Amino acid sequence: MNQQHNCDVLIIGSGAAGLTLALNLANHADVIILSKGPINEGSTFYAQGGIAAVFDENDSVDEHVNDTLVAGNDICDKDIVQFTAENGREAMEWLISQGVDFDREKPTLEDSKYHLTREGGHSHRRILHAADATGKAVQTTLVEQVKMHSRIRIFERYNAIDLICSKSKQDKQCIGAYIWNRNIEKVESIHSKKTILATGGASKVYQYTSNPDIASGDGIAMAWRAGCKVANMEFNQFHPTCLYHPQARTFLLTEALRGEGAILRRPDGSRFMPEFDERAELAPRDVVARAIDFEMKRLGADCMFLDISHKSAKFIKQHFPTIYEKTCALGIDMTREPLPIVPAAHYTCGGVMIDKNGQTDVNGLYAIGEVSYTGLHGANRLASNSLLECVVFARSAAQHIAATLNTKEKIKRLPLWDESRVTDSDEEVVIQHNWHELRLFMWDFVGIVRTTKRLERALHRVQLLQSEIEEYYRHFRVSNNLLELRNLVQVAELIINSALERKESRGLHFTLDFPEQLEVSGPTILTPKG
């Protein structure tokens, strides 16, 4: 019999969204946080740039809203954009109250104004940051607070397998999840009155990504299997500047470098961004990524270069200490020479459809952070709006959950996990082969530039892989790689179908078959069958 845990609130994911929710709920409920790896490991920890919010008296919420709508290419949900921008400052003040130490203009003065940087697509300096390791500052601070709270339990090295829902089609209710305890390699279950997906994005579906290994689309795939609608999965943001080095394939070079004057150059040293957009290096990420991709293909080059060596060494070391130390360790001195870069899959702009309270289509099930589709990002995410979305919607969801949670609800005995007819895998190479094949054809056929023929080929391959993986899943005991591959293949199908639905080029979705933008457009919404 598999072990059953019980709680009021189950949070699947331990990044900024999940930790913020936990801390805002723990005074009202018993909380379990499920973390696939160590609790510090996740996309939040590696976020460098910062968090956008209006703190400058020369800036305004309306201008933040407008910048977001422009970057989103006219298919953002305007009400959600307004809601997020209006709640931005309060959300950041909550983070500050938890102990997050954002940089100030005068570091030695505690009452000095916060140092605000500017990134691509922003009309003002409005990015709060902690040097070039903002995510690390946020993650470590929230983890410290979570560990001190008596009503929060942390389950590290646990994979969520699938959500458990009541069987009534008229009133489907999420009542918990099956989980795989990687510490003892056993399947267990958690009964919860409210379940929240905070699992992050799905960029691991691509061969090259800036994300950590855990970004395998688990929450999106689980929600889809549970009956939730998803939206805008065709909009995958490729960060323009990932360090090109064999020992640092996932090391991101923050957008703040370009915000502080870094220039993109060809291998011959010539600058090229002004030829593509009047905003040059400060154009939105989709524009910059396509320009780099175009130049690499045109020249047959392995990479382009990002150059900030015209700034003083003191300035570079003060503002970008993490990048400076990392690149120095790899034998590159960014104070004297340009950094080799390539685009890499970075952020999933679509996800599980939710409302302002984080609610999905299934009762008792919420989604917050990168796993969700709120309508904030539209066809392209404005830089540094991601952590903002995590905190704003986590706080909003917490209010709704606290108001509707029945802590006296009886504990249900969950259906047992049946593995009486499965065996241990004897061919792990099958998983590894399918894993590499999936990520390679997604990069080649569903990447920065697409065509209908490439998408159709990718869909055919995904469907073949799905049948192979489901067969494997039915016959062998679960493992981390099998669970992630099963979810990535499902997410890949959603991305491809969403891309085939959009008969235009808009934002992050660029197809040679439909290069123009439609006059009227909106989100791409997919609904599960049955």
pLDDT at 415 over 90: no
> Cα angle vertex 209, ends 208, 211, to 5°?
155
Q: What pLDDT sits at residue 241?
A: 92
pLDDT at 422 over 90: no
Identity at 472, one-letter amino acid code = Y
CATH of domain 240-346: 3.90.700.10
Least confidently predicted of 129-138, 266-275, 354-363, 516-525: 129-138
pLDDT at 426 over 70: no
285 is catalytic: yes
CATH pick for 4-234+349-404 out of 3.90.1300.10, 3.40.50.280, 3.40.50.10490, 3.50.50.60: 3.50.50.60
- Count Cα atoms within 13 angstroms, Cβ side, for 442: 31
Q: Give the whole-number percent of the chain exceeding pLDDT 90.
A: 71
Nearest to 158 by CA among 194, 184, 193: 184
Distance CA 257, CA 185 (A): 43
Q: What pLDDT sits at residue 518?
A: 97
pLDDT tens digits for range 61-98: 999 999 999 999 999 999 999 999 999 999 999 999 99
Q: What pLDDT sits at residue 118?
A: 86
Residue 178 φ/ψ, nearest 5 degrees? -85, 140
Least confidently predicted of 118-122, 246-250, 460-464: 246-250
pLDDT at 169 over 80: no
- The token duo for 103 is 């940089």
Q: What pLDDT sits at residue 474?
A: 83
User: In Å, how far are 127, 129, 319, 413, 455 from 105, measured between CA atoms?
Assistant: 13, 11, 12, 56, 48
Across the chain, what does the average pLDDT equal? 92
pLDDT at 5 over 90: yes
pLDDT tens digits for range 466-478: 998 888 888 888 8
- Domains in the chain: boundaries: 4-234+349-404, 240-346, 428-510
What is the distance, to the nearest Å, from the Cα of residue 209 to the centroid of all Cα atoms in its chain? 11
Q: In what order do the strands lie in the sheet with 127-128?
A: 51-52, 127-128, 116-117
Tally Cβ neighbours within 10 Å of residue 302. Answer: 10
Report whether 459 contacts 441 (CB < 8 A).
no
User: 159: pLDDT confidence band, cut at 50, 70 and 90?
Assistant: very high
pLDDT at 427 over 80: no
- Tell which wins on pLDDT, 397 or 297: 397
Report whether 214 contacts 192 (CB < 8 A).
no
Q: What pLDDT sits at residue 499?
A: 98
The class (CATH top level) of 428-510 is mainly alpha
- Tell which wins on pLDDT, 416 or 336: 336
Tally Cβ neighbours within 10 Å of residue 95. Answer: 22
Nearest to 142 by CA among 222, 219, 64, 45: 45
What is the distance, to the nearest Å, from the Cα of residue 489 to the centroid of all Cα atoms in its chain? 17
Report whether 198 contacts 304 (CB < 8 A).
no
- Tell which wins on pLDDT, 72 or 49: 72
pLDDT at 420 over 80: no
Query: What's the rounded mean pLDDT across residues 22-42?
Result: 92
- The token duo for 487 is 């979810």
pLDDT tens digits for range 207-230: 888 887 788 999 999 999 999 999
Sequence-distant (6+) residues with CB within 8 A of 471 are none
Least confidently predicted of 121-135, 192-206, 256-270, 489-503: 121-135
Distance CA 196, CA 190 (A): 12
- What dihedral angle (degrees, nearest 10) is formed by the CA atoms of 528, 440, 267, 121? 10
Reduced to 3 states (helix: H, G, I; strand: E, B; else coil), residue 174 is strand
Q: What pLDDT sits at residue 312?
A: 96
Q: What pLDDT sits at residue 132?
A: 74
User: In Å, how far are 12, 399, 423, 426 from 2, measured between CA atoms?
Assistant: 19, 33, 17, 24
Identity at 473, one-letter amino acid code = Y
Distance CA 196, CA 362 (A): 11
Distance CA 25, CA 394 (A): 10
Least confidently predicted of 26-30, 116-120, 316-320: 116-120
pLDDT tens digits for range 249-279: 678 898 889 989 999 999 999 999 999 999 9
- DSSP per residue, 398-466: HHHHHHH--TTPPPPPPPPP--TT-B--S-HHHHHHHHHHHHHHHHHHSSSSB-HHHHHHHHHHHHHHH
Q: What pLDDT sits at residue 260?
A: 92
Tally Cβ neighbours within 10 Å of residue 504. Answer: 16
pLDDT at 414 over 90: no
Q: What pLDDT sits at residue 410?
A: 85
Q: Which of 285, 290, 395, 461 is catalytic?
A: 285
Cα-atom radius of gyration of the chain, to the nearest Å? 22
Query: What's the rounded mean pLDDT across residues 363-391?
Result: 95
